[in-house]
Amino acid sequence: MGNDIPGAKKAIVGLTQIKGIGYNFATAILDTLKINTNTNIGFLSESDVQSIEKLITNPIAGNFPVWFLNRRKDVETGANMHLLTSDIPFTLRNDIERERITNSWRGYRHMYGLKVRGQCTRTTGRKGGAVGVAKAGKAAPAQTAAAPAAPTAAAPTAAKPTEEKKAAPAEKKK
């Protein structure tokens, strides 16, 4: 399937490394072919590998139920199929683009980046930062009590002579 699976991995874990095959699907494949799930991938015979690949590419031929497949009643063909590897995101993009072109409600929601499946959007799914709320973090450093207050422009000019008077008696004591 275009994936190199390390031979030291167990068969069930190795199959799940292929995109589109989950744990349950891998278990069903190995049970159908009567292969032990705990055997290492490296110890599988060439015929076992060929039969696994054949069953992965066409699971309907292996009598898998239709509900087990990941693409039922395809919109374009109407067929039931199981998508693997790069076909999954390609088909997903095509489906979303088709919905956008037809101006369906789902297409509109996809186009504007909103929730598509009917979830509530009053409090969740918001984008961007918080508006009107102060961000928690370090507070501004408080001024120490020992620091002298700077004179302001509104202070009266008479305050300066009083400071000079206080300083003059201190000089006499020395």
The pLDDT of residue 1 is above 60: yes
Report how far apart, in Å, the C-alpha atoms of 6 and of each of 10, 15, 16, 25, 173 are: 9, 11, 12, 19, 93
For 76-149, strand residue ranges (E) read none
Domain that holds residue 37: 11-68
- What would the pLDDT profile of 13-72 be if each residue is shown by its tens digit? 988 888 889 999 999 999 999 998 888 888 888 999 899 889 988 888 888 888 888 888
Q: What is the pTM of this model?
A: 0.61
Query: Is 127 a member of any domain?
Result: no
Query: Is 34 a member of any domain?
Result: yes
Is the distance from CB of 116 to CB of 107 less than 8 angstroms?
Answer: no
Give the count of domains, the chain.
Answer: 1
- What would the pLDDT profile of 127-169 be if each residue is shown by its tens digit? 777 777 777 777 666 665 665 666 666 555 555 555 555 555 5
Sign for the CA dihedral angle at 161, 162, 163, 164 comes to positive
**Which CATH number goes with the domain that contains 18?**
1.10.8.50
